Each structure stands twice: as C-alpha cells, then as structure tokens.
Amino acid sequence: MSDPKEAIKEKSMVIQKEMLANLFTELSNAKANGKKVVYTFVPGNLTELILAMDMLPVYPEINALQSGMRKKSGSYIKDAEKMGFSEDVCTYVKCDIGMMLNGNIGPTGEKLPDPDLLLLSYTGCFTFLKWFENLERLYPGVEIAMLHTPYQEDGVITEEQLKYMVKQLEEDVIPKMEKVAGKKLDYNRLNKMLENAAKAEDLWVKVLETAKNRPSPIDSYFAGVYYMGPLNTAFRGTEEAVHYYEELYKEVTDRMSQGLCPVTPEGEMKEEKFRLVVEGPPNWTNFREFWKIFYDMGAVIVASTYTKVGGLYDQGFRHEPGKPLESLAKYCMGCYTNLNLPQRVDLIEHYIKEYKADGFLINSIKSCNSFSAGQLLMMREVEQRCGVPVGFIESDLVDPRYFSYANIKNRLESYFQMLGQRKVILAQEEVTA
C-alpha cells in the first residue's frame, strides 16, 4: 500500500517545484497586480500567445490532477454529483467544478483567481467543449474565445484545416485575447517565445530518446509526466523552460553514462527487467502506489502515449518562429488525442519497435472516452503487428472509487509473469539458434 516515505527528488524536479511555486504566487497576486488570467486546456494549448500578452494561464485539468494527488478529488467529485452531474461523466470536469464550488483553492492552499478569459482550444476531446460551457455558467459574463481544432480524421493535416485554424486565430481568438489583455500581440515577442519553445522541445526529445538505451535512465510515463510539465503548461516559450530541460537532459545523460536505471520515489531502480510501452493516462489518486507496482517488478516504461498529449515533438513537430500562427495551428492539430485511431496504432507500433519494448500495456480510464473508446481494438492490432504480450488494466484519473489496488496489482503480476516466461523462451530460442 501507499509508502509514507518522502519521495527522492532529482535536481530538475526541485527546479520545477520552484517554477510552479512562483507561478502560483503570481496567480494569487494576479488581481492585485492587474494581471489577466486565462483558463485553458493542456492539449493544444496556446501558452506562448498567453504569455506574449502578459497574461497568466490556469489549466483546469492540472488543477484536477493535483486535486487527485492531494486526495481532494473524491469529495470534489461528490459535490459536483450533488449538483446534478452524473456518476458516468468525465471526472476531471466534476473534480474541477467541485473545486470551484469549494472556493477554487489551488495546490498551494491559496485561492486561484477567477478567469478573465476562457480560452477553449478544443483539441482531441469533445468533453472540453462541454466543460467550458459549464465554466461559462459558473463565471457569467466572462470573455470566451474558442478555437475549434479539426480532428486528423484522415490521418493528415489538410491545407483547409490549417487555413481554418489560422483564420480563427487571426480573426477571432487573438482579437479577443488582445481585448482582455488590453494590448496588441507583439509578434516579435511571440516569435522569440516560439524559438525558446523549439529549443526546449529539442531537449525534451533528447530526454525521451535516452529511453532507447539499455537500461533506460528514465521512466517515460511515471517520471515522464513530471518531465513534460513545463513544456505542456505555463512555461513553454520561456527561458526558464529551456534551462529546466538543459538541466534535465544533463541529469539524464549523466545517469545514462553510468549505466543507471530510472530514479523512483524510493531511490534508484536496481535492475531493468521489463521494458514497456504504455497507452492511456495514469491514475492520479494512487499515483505512487501505482508506480510502485511497476518499479518493484523492475518494469520501466520506455515510451508512452500520454506524454504526447501536449505534442508529438518526438515525431518531428517544432514550434516555428517564422510562421507563428501556422505553427500554433499545426501544434494544436498534432497532439496525440487529435490523431485518428490508425495513426495511434502506428505510433504505438513504432514505439514498441524503436524502444525495443517487451510488452504493451493499456491503462484504460473510465472517465476518458477520448482515450478509451477504441482501445480494445488498438490492443488487438498492436498484438498482431508486434507480437508482444499485451496487458489491459482499468482505473480512473481522479475518482478514487475506480482505483482498485488489489485488482490492478493481481492483473499486473500475472502480466509480468507472462512477460518473464516469454523472456525465458526467447532466450532459449536464441541459444538454440
């Protein structure tokens, strides 16, 4: 069960903690300092635009996941259910609404400021749209900007889609942002931020690719969700983010050159026994217990799809200073959940092969149709194409009622057993050959 020990932290994590603390202080002083606050989502976020207009972003999903980690989500969800939200719907939405009903207290214990703008860049999830309609009712009269991001239904970003996005940005989204910010968008400043974004993205890809090494010096899922934080949220485009990724990359390559395994909350993993690719978000309410099941078994996640919800940089995308709006548009359309199912299967197949994974695991999230609908077919396709053992577990993001430790542990143990047996057979075959 849950480990009471204080988690061991790498230097990069300490840097990130400081960055976040400063952001929340800024947010709690935002109204006093006349700073405008924008609520927006992580996938397909327009952070550079927000920051270039001196506004501060708040990400409701991040609030929800932090509420989950701080064990507050259960009661928030119940409060939203009392208000009439069904047990069946996305728990991120209910957790966020419950948090607002309870005073909108952020992770540092201070109240988060009300939004001046709801910026709905609606990438890869229809529920986002419903979520923001509900937020608008909670903050009547708030300015709203909506960027409809077309789905890559045919597996490509078309010229028409790109034009549609750019037009929305130019004629609707940016003017509304300028109105709230009280200033014009400075394109030079935006370009500079996109340049920084691309530098951080380069470094992030290098970090991710260290997992190709044996043993992998990182866990691309459990640690990956921390590593991706600055790039996916309020810091993309800043010097701080570049510095963070420089530090992280240094740390990771040091570990790699020493042949070390990933750092876990209980210290360094001693041996890499299994290399896995994981699809689906993690559970947040029991995050450490969940992770522990893996590191206790020597299982390292070498690639995950969840760490691509904020962008597929490892597949070549970079923010481009010369073409700011086109590149923001492509960014939004390129996030993982905006890929169609065949693209998602191709990507997973690629990860399994590139990262020489022993197995593929899906953590299917009750709340999240965007991820979950179709995963069983994806699993079959991957199994057929790659021939690796596949595993399937179920949990939820922030609803503790849907995390069954015993059930998940049992399933994973059987899965690891199967992986172990397969390794023995493969080794024997190699000897015979």
Binding site for ligand SF4 (CB under 6 A): 61, 90, 92, 125, 127-128, 367-371, 397
* Amino acid occupying residue 19: M
Q: Which is nearer to other proteins, 59 or 85 (CB)?
A: 85
CB 286 within 8 A of CB 265: no
Q: φ, ψ for residue 198 (rounded to 5)?
A: -65, -35
Q: Which of 62, 77, 90, 263 binds other proteins (CB under 8 A)?
A: 90
Binding mask of the shown chain, residues 370 to 409, with x at each position contacting other proteins by CB under 8 A: x-xxxxxx---x------------x---------------
Q: Which is nearer to other proteins, 148 or 288 (CB)?
A: 148
Query: How distant, in Å, are the alpha carbons of 21, 100, 131, 282, 420 from that of 275?
Result: 34, 40, 36, 17, 11
Residues 6+ apart with CB under 8 A from 332: 43, 44, 46, 121, 123, 147, 149, 165, 338
What Rg, from alpha-carbon coordinates, does the chain have?
Answer: 21
Q: Is 341 in the site for other proteins (CB under 8 A)?
A: yes
* Amino acid occupying residue 98: G
Binding mask of the shown chain, residues 157 to 196, with x at each position contacting other proteins by CB under 8 A: ---xx-xx--xx--xx------------------------
Q: How far is the CB of 181 from other proteins (least distance, A)?
A: 20
- Binding-site partner at residue 92 among ligand SF4, other proteins, none, CB < 5 to 8 Å by type: ligand SF4
Q: φ, ψ for residue 118 (rounded to 5)?
A: -100, 115
Coil/strand/helix, residue 407:
helix
Q: Which of 401, 389, 324 is nearest to 359 (CA)?
A: 389
Q: Which of 134, 210, 315, 404 binds other proteins (CB under 8 A)?
A: 134
Q: Which of 132, 222, 287, 336 binds other proteins (CB under 8 A)?
A: 132
Q: Which of 199, 236, 318, 344 binds other proteins (CB under 8 A)?
A: 344
Q: Which is nearer to ligand SF4, 90 or 339 (CB)?
A: 90
Q: How far is the CB of 8 from other proteins (least distance, A)?
A: 35
Element (H, E) at 132: helix 127-138
Rounded to the nearest angstrom, the gap between the alpha carbon of residue 120 and the centroid of all alpha carbons in its chain is: 17
**Angle 60-69/73-82 helices, nearest 10 degrees?**
120
Residues 6+ apart with CB under 8 A from 427: none
Residues near other proteins, by CB under 8 A: 83-86, 88-90, 93, 122, 125-127, 129-134, 136-137, 144, 146, 148, 150-151, 153-154, 160-161, 163-164, 167-168, 171-172, 340-342, 344-345, 364, 366, 369-370, 372-377, 381, 394
